[in-house]
Chain A
């Protein structure tokens, strides 16, 4: 994301629409998430149906500001995908949010230890998903600028 920071106020101005890589194997969820993120959040969304596809997309050199990553997927699961993403140049520090139907406190702790900046519970509310993504982007931008 191209951001111009104003150090005295801490305000961050976004000059481009943030780009989100969403990794989810279920087409229904892909569709409603894309609708929510693109329409409400005005994000640019790249959708991948598997961990393998996400790794391939990451290797193209395309820039992403945030990755939303389903935990349980056929093939490479979310945590393994995250580990492999981190090995790809340009993806070492991209914020990753896990999406999971089971959110127990010990699981949240485990996902965070793996490097996730947040964990969103599924099913998500399509009306508030974009706001939650925006909040994470704002938070990680501030941390990055500090």
Chain B
């Protein structure tokens, strides 16, 4: 594979990655609603953490470093509550809501 072919494949993979973001984000929004209604919803908390962790660890590899940066903040907040086996604090909820919005903007802007 020469350099041009590599770039072409990389561009295709990046396009596929970006195309997969909106459905994932929609699922995150549903999980967040569940958590807002019930902060003891451990399943929603774990799943939301998983999604932020995915963004955090992958965005930069696909040309979206800000997606990683913003997601890491929310992942950290969720990790703290999961590790301590307690419900989210008001401050953590605020962080997650803010970062979810930030992630939405990044995804919308492509």
A binds B: yes
Q: Are B6 and A39 in contact (CB under 8 A)?
A: yes
Q: Are B20 and A40 in contact (CB under 8 A)?
A: no
* A117 close to B (CB within 8 Å): no
Given A101-B53, A123-B68, A39 and B61 touching (CB < 8 A)? Answer: no
* A114 close to B (CB within 8 Å): no
Number of interface residues of B (CB under 8 A): 22
In the bound complex, residues from chain A placing their C-beta under 8 Å from that of B16 are 28
Q: 0/1 per residue, B51-95, Cβ < 8 Å to A?
A: 001101111111001001000100110000000000000000000
Measured in the bound complex, the distance between the Cα atoms of B62 and A115 in whole Å is: 30
What number of residue pairs across chains A and B have CB atoms under 8 A from each other? 55
Measured in the bound complex, the distance between the Cα atoms of B75 and A29 in whole Å is: 18
Q: Are B6 and A122 in contact (CB under 8 A)?
A: no
A-B contact pairs, 25 of them (CB 8 A): A26-B54, A26-B58, A28-B16, A28-B58, A28-B62, A29-B61, A32-B13, A32-B61, A32-B62, A35-B10, A35-B13, A39-B1, A39-B6, A40-B6, A100-B57, A101-B53, A101-B56, A101-B75, A102-B72, A122-B57, A122-B60, A123-B56, A123-B57, A123-B68, A126-B61
**Which 8 residue pairs across A and B have the least CB separation, nearest first?**
A123-B60, A122-B57, A101-B57, A123-B61, A101-B56, A39-B1, A123-B68, A39-B6
Chain A residues at the B interface, C-beta cutoff of 8 Å? 26, 28-29, 31-32, 35, 39-40, 72, 100-102, 122-126
Known contacts A101-B68, A122-B61, A123-B58; 13 further A-B pairs (Cβ under 8 A) = A28-B16, A31-B13, A32-B61, A32-B62, A101-B72, A122-B56, A122-B58, A122-B60, A123-B61, A123-B68, A124-B60, A125-B60, A126-B61
